[in-house]
Copies of this chain bind each other. A is one copy, B any other.
Amino acid sequence: MAEKRPYILVTNDDGITAKGLRILINTAKKFGDVLVVAPDSHQSAKSHSITQAAPIRFDKIFEENGYSEYSVSGTPVDCVKLALHELSDKKPDLILSGINHGANTSVSVLYSGTMAAAIEGGLHNIKSIGFSVDNHSSEADFSPVIPYMEKIIEEVIEKELPNGVSLNVNFPDVTKVEVKGIKTMRGANGVWGENFIPANDPHKRNFVWITGKLTNYDEGKEDTDLFYIENGYATVTPVKVDFNYYSFIDELSTWDFNG
């Protein structure tokens, strides 16, 4: 651990009442001073969205020596931005997001509010980690992951991440299986296909619930997060934002857009 007590920002996307957040807060407190800035409501699948169409409300709901906690009427990324630019004079040494109720493997990173918060931290060159468990129940007990999280946090505090890079940590369903170990893997390629279930609207309007199923394009490939999660391991994946598809720029520049 660093000699100076680290200053740690904790957030999530399941909201300030989530059980996973409480476990993460207690783990963070072992390593440093903690600022919690978390959404006041469920913000799953909010991706990198920010609140532009309305003002954002924040309330300090708890404060004691080396610890404070804010509830925010916004998204996980709103929470990180608010923490960095408004609620704290100090830049955090570390951002921890989660523990998400549900895995954020493969292309799920794109939809995940938990990972968006970690990615936003990475964009500001702050060491950031998103933690997720492959169990969606809001009542699931994630305490078996604590020793693994501690080890990961310890390493991240000690070492350096490349500029703009954050970590995506996924655990198998620890309510059912014992973690066999931690593997560093890429995220599998995949796509979410959707199924819309009619909602039971008494007024008979067209309301549907979105549900989805991930197709794993890398089925069986041993260098992917999905492979190891399915086999009972935790995975650590380095993530960075870069939407440019460089290898096609030269060919695209030969297309006749100006003719």
- Closest B residue by C-beta to A195: B85
Cβ of A47 < 8 Å from any Cβ of B? yes
Contact A151 B243 (CB under 8 A): no
Cβ of A57 < 8 Å from any Cβ of B? yes
**Partner-binding segment picked from A4-12, A16-24, A138-146, A201-209:** A201-209
A window 198-219: CB within 8 A of B: 199, 201, 205-210
A window 97-146: CB within 8 A of B: 107, 109-111, 113, 115-116, 119, 123-124
- Given A184-B255, A185-B249, A256-B155, does the pair A56, B244 have CB atoms closer than 8 Å? no
Contact B194 A257 (CB under 8 A): no
Contact B181 A258 (CB under 8 A): yes
Expressed in whole angstroms, the minimum distance between the Cβ of A239 and any Cβ of chain B is 4
Contact A55 B209 (CB under 8 A): yes
Kindly report how many copies of this chain are found in the complex they form together. 2
Cβ of A59 < 8 Å from any Cβ of B? yes
A window 34-66: CB within 8 A of B: 41-42, 44-53, 55-59
A46–B183 CA distance with the chains assembled, in angstroms = 33
A interface residues, how many (CB within 8 angstroms): 85
Which residues of chain B have C-beta atoms less than 8 A from A194's C-beta? 81-82, 84-86
Contact B252 A236 (CB under 8 A): yes
Contact A196 B85 (CB under 8 A): yes
- Given A186-B249, A208-B58, does the pair A116, B47 have CB atoms closer than 8 Å? yes
Q: Can you identify 6 A-B contacts, CB atoms within 8 angstroms?
A: A48-B49, A58-B206, A59-B205, A85-B194, A183-B253, A184-B257
